Structure 1
Amino acid sequence: MDRLTGRSLDLCTGPLSRHGGGMNTKSAYVHGYSPQEARRLGDQADTLAGLLHAGTAYAAGSRVLEVGCGVGAQTVHLARSSPGARIVAIDRSAESLAQAQEYVTAREPWASVEWHIADLHDLPFGVGEFHHVFACFVLEHLPDPGRALAALRRVLRPGGTLTVIEGDHGSVVLHPDSIHAHEVIGHQVRLQAAAGGNALLGRALQPLLSDAGFDQVMVRPRTAYADATRPALVDGLTRKTFIAMVEAVRDQALSTGLTTAADWDRGIADLRLTAEEGGTFHYTFFKAVGVKPLA
């Protein structure tokens, strides 16, 4: 495998199980692949970089695998935090990888990144090939995250670290509170479950990593809170990340009979109030780090 520097794209074939097709396809990416979703991912990564990437920095020369890199939104921040690391970014979609290469090249042109299409459950890498593995918002889209963790453990060298970041939609606290707003959030949770994922996965990271054979598992909540005194978070987190994510599943929620148009619109209207003057929004992400045993 040739190392790329962002000037040409070398894609190895093979599907990655992070994403898939429609609602009935296990491991479907419930948020879709629209340009709006690509922008949302970029807004999310930029808004939350300080919160989620704090404490993650890899030594110069270390080989780091990023799984499910998507459009490169998190890859940019990995490269910035660890400028001397050699990052290998994989995803199932050639289109996403092309977008990722363009995105990273524009923002971090000297980043050392390889881009590969690869299957998360059948990684084309040798045993112990990586010093570190990084997975952000990936396991939540998989029907069997434990199986994925076993595959990632195989490619880590003994003593290497796995970092996993996931959200948990059950951690949402709103003001003004609204049962209707919580209902539309619940519809997104149900649709993701129907697609083979779990939008409540953050709370389960410690047992998941431990059961997959990782040692020294440490999970830390990363709390995001937005109100009128934090306008950047109101815009980047509440509006452009969370509300935009929920709004994007409207058609699915209606077509599958989860709700009516009137009930959906009422819930979204109440959810939007949390981003207005006097509103507040709270969400907890969970960041887990585990170590592959030495023996």
Structure 2
Amino acid sequence: MRTDYVHGYTPAETRRLADQAQTLAELLHGGIAYPPGARVLEAGCGVGAQTVQLVTRHPGIDLVAIDISEESLAQAKERVGPDARVEWRCADLEELQGEEFDHIFVCFVLEHLRDPTAALIGLRQLLRPGGTITVIEGDHQSAFYHPRSAAAQAVIECLVDLQAEAGGDSLIGRRVQPLLAAAGYDDVRTEPRTVYADETLPHLVDGFTRKTFIAMVESVREQALAQRLLTPAEWAAGIRDLERTAEPGGTFHYTFFRGIGRT
């Protein structure tokens, strides 16, 4: 399950992932219940931003967290702490063959894969009968905002195009249900998980609009300019207009999609 991570492995990206996980904790994890003693796999744990939520919300689970980056795993271990009940592994899916899990959690991973269906098929082979997989992905074209701005939309499209060039799909949220179905999961249920921010919701304006979404777009600035997708002046204008959506009178909307399938 190797990825080309378009956002890069920088301290700023690590902060963004942590801000995102904390801000959207209930939106993404609400309603999921893993019982004590369940063996759970977090596939693609990265720097542990979502791992914190898993160990906090589901005490007593036996969690195996895997990632292909040793550096990310080291940060995840530090973030989660030594007392957490987590088995950390630097591994790919192929290295888990023959193991079994009651539940699998995959968050913001499929969007970076060249073949998400193959990854989901591989994960299904690790689930015990009756086990579940939870997949959470976003869709950058679900971002709409006020004030409207062609310049802001242009910088968002840079992110969409660069992720596609790297072999991923930043619009994959709309595909969660068909991907799970194509991979052979049963009883697939998918629902939108929508975040909306305006000046009456300052925690979401700061935690999501500024520190999650705008920061995510900003992460591809150097790539976008190097490929001359926009000029520096066009990029600055687009980011400035995105920032206006986080000011008084501005609004921002984005939809994540959470799918759950069974074996």
Q: Judge same fold: TM > 0.5, yes or no.
A: yes
What is the CA–CA distance in structure 2 between the aligned matches of 1:77 and 1:110, rounded to whole Å? 15
The residue that corresponds to 1:10 in the other structure is none
Structure 1 unaligned blocks of 5 or more: 1-15, 19-27
1:170 aligns with 2:146: no
Q: CA RMSD in A?
A: 0.9
Which of 168, 184, 204 matches 1:233? 204
1:43 aligns with 2:19: yes
Per-residue CA deviation, residues 83-115 of structure 1 (Å, 9 max, x unaligned), is 01110000011111011001001xxx5421000
1:1-295 alignment, distance < 5 Å:
16-18=1-3, 28-105=4-81, 110-120=83-93, 122-127=94-99, 129-292=100-263
Q: Alignment partner of 2:217: what SS?
A: helix
Identity %: 62
Cα offset, 1:149, TM superposition: 0.2
What is the CA–CA distance in structure 2 between the aligned matches of 1:138 and 1:222, rounded to whole Å? 17
Cα offset, 1:262, TM superposition: 1.2
What is the CA–CA distance in structure 2 between the aligned matches of 1:112 and 1:170, rounded to whole Å? 37
Q: Alignment partner of 1:246: what SS?
A: helix
What is the CA–CA distance in structure 1 between the aligned matches of 2:231 and 2:16, rounded to whole Å? 25
What is the CA–CA distance in structure 2 between the aligned matches of 1:235 and 1:33, rounded to whole Å? 22
Cα offset, 1:179, TM superposition: 1.2
Tell me if structure 2 keeps the 8 A contact 1:68–1:92.
yes
Q: Which amino acid aligns with 1:114?
A: E
What is the CA–CA distance in structure 2 between the aligned matches of 1:216 and 1:81, rounded to whole Å? 24
The alignment covers a number of residue pairs equal to 263
- Runs of 4+ in structure 1 deviating by more than 3 angstroms, as ranges, are none
Q: Which amino acid aligns with 1:250?
A: R
Cα offset, 1:80, TM superposition: 1.1
What is the CA–CA distance in structure 2 between the aligned matches of 1:202 and 1:190, rounded to whole Å? 16
Q: Alignment partner of 2:8: what SS?
A: coil
Q: Alignment partner of 1:123: what SS?
A: helix
Q: Which amino acid aligns with 2:95?
A: L
The structure with the greater share of residues assigned to helix is: 2
Q: Alignment partner of 1:189: what SS?
A: helix
What is the CA–CA distance in structure 1 between the aligned matches of 2:137 and 2:163, rounded to whole Å? 14
What is the CA–CA distance in structure 1 between the aligned matches of 2:88 and 2:211, rounded to whole Å? 27
Tell me if structure 2 keeps the 8 A contact 1:123–1:151.
no
Q: Which amino acid aligns with 1:51?
A: L
Cα offset, 1:73, TM superposition: 0.3
Per-residue CA deviation, residues 144-179 of structure 1 (Å, 9 max, x unaligned), is 000000110000011100000000001011100111
Per-residue CA deviation, residues 96-148 of structure 1 (Å, 9 max, x unaligned), is 1011001001xxx542100001113x132415x10000000000000100000
Structure 2 unaligned blocks of 5 or more: none
Q: Alignment partner of 2:9: what SS?
A: coil
What is the CA–CA distance in structure 1 between the aligned matches of 2:65 and 2:181, rounded to whole Å? 25
Q: Alignment partner of 1:103: what SS?
A: helix
Q: Which amino acid aligns with 1:159?
A: G
The normalised TM-score by structure 1 is 0.88
What is the CA–CA distance in structure 2 between the aligned matches of 1:225 and 1:123, rounded to whole Å? 40
The normalised TM-score by structure 2 is 0.98
Cα offset, 1:225, TM superposition: 0.3
